[in-house]
Structure 1
Amino acid sequence: MAEEIRIKKKAARRGDDGYKIVSVRMKDELIEKLDVLSAQSNRSRNELINILLSSAVDLVKIEE
């Protein structure tokens, strides 16, 4: 597994554009963890998912 991913707190802000809507099924436990991180970082769940996925995509190695 990767090292930890650090996310800085920021001031509340809404209305960023330039994104596409994607529907994803997630387990309740994962959503609960995202909600805790969201509250701690003062970022929306959507913003956190984008940050985490952006970081994770660079860590993926496809095995043959």
Structure 2
Amino acid sequence: MNNKIIVPKSKRGEDGYKVTSVRMPQELAEKLDKFTAQTDLSRNEVIVTLLTQALEIAEIEDK
């Protein structure tokens, strides 16, 4: 009987995702964490979901 769990190594970026960092106000980060805590999702999953939907409805305003 094999009692090992084998986890394959993947190189960064090979999952189709790009890693990026975002600076945000502390207040917004706290609001995001409170929102995320009400879901069964990770902070990353919530950010990707919200950003995907926001980009669908966002418009660029001409000055």
Long gaps (5+) in structure 2: 1-14
**TM (normalized to structure 2)?**
0.68
Q: Distance in 1 between matches of 2:30 and 2:61?
A: 31
**TM (normalized to structure 1)?**
0.67
Long gaps (5+) in structure 1: 1-16
Deviation beyond 3 Å, 4+ runs, structure 1: none
> What is the identity percentage for the equivalent residue pairs of Structure 1 and Structure 2?
54
Q: Which structure's relative contact order is higher, taking Cα pairs within 8 Å and 6+ residues apart?
A: 1
C-alpha RMSD of matched pairs (Å): 1.1
Q: Count residues in correspondence.
A: 48
Q: CA deviation at 1:39?
A: 1.0
